[in-house]
Homo-oligomer: A and B are copies of this chain.
C-alpha cells in the first residue's frame, strides 16, 4: 500500500522535519511518501493561507491518484480544502483535523483541541460545527505559537501543556486533540504529562487512510461527486 502525505505548505525544511514521524506511523507493508507544495504560503495559519494554497493542494491530490497512490493524507489540522480534495479523486482522502477528531471520539466523551494560534482555533471551530461534533467538544484552545516555531520543543511543550491542562481541568476535556500537524514529535511527551490520550492528527490521518485502503473503502462519491474538470 502506498500513501501520499501532502503537507499543504511550501516549506521544505518543515516537510523534512516531519518525514521521519510520518514514515514511522505506517504499518510494515505501507510506503509513505511525504510532499509539500511547490508554491504557496510557508505555513497554514489562517483560512487566508488555505485559500492561497488551495490550487496547489488539489494539484498534488490529483497527481497522487495518477501516480497510483492508494490514498492521500492531507497533513493539516485545519482540514484545508478537504471537500475539494475528496471531490477531485476516487481514492480515499483523509485529513488530519477530521481524522484526529474521529479517532479521539472513540476514546472519550468530550475532547478539546489545542492548536497553535487564535486564527487556526477559529477555523477549527468552524470545522467542528460543520462536522456536527461541537456537542462533544469542550473547547478549542491555542498555545499562541506560530507553526514554524514549534521546533523550539521546550517552549512548545510548555505552552501546549499549559493549555491542555486548562482544557482538562477548567473545560472538562477527557482527551486532547493536537490542532497542528507540526506537533507530532511532542505528542508522546504531552501524553505522559497530561495523563489523558493526546492525539497526533498527522498520525491519525495516515492510519485512517491505511484503514480505508485495507477495508477497500473510499470516499462516498454520492457525497463528494467528481467535479466537471473540463470547463
Contact = CB atoms under 8 A, between A and B. Distances in A.
Nearest to A168: B222
Contacts of A105: 102, 131
B132 A222 contact: no
A103 B118 CA distance: 24
Interface residues on chain A, size class: 35 or more
Contact of A83 (B47, B168, B222): B47
- Among A94, A133, A134, A215, chain B packs the most CB atoms within 10 A around the CB of A215
Interface of A: 25, 27-29, 41-43, 45-52, 54-55, 57-58, 81, 83-85, 87-88, 92, 94, 98-99, 102-103, 105-110, 118-119, 122-123, 125-127, 129-136, 146, 168, 174-175, 188, 191, 195-197, 199-200, 203-204, 207-208, 211-212, 214-225, 227-229, 231
Closest 4 CB pairs of A and B: A174-B223, A132-B135, A51-B84, A47-B83
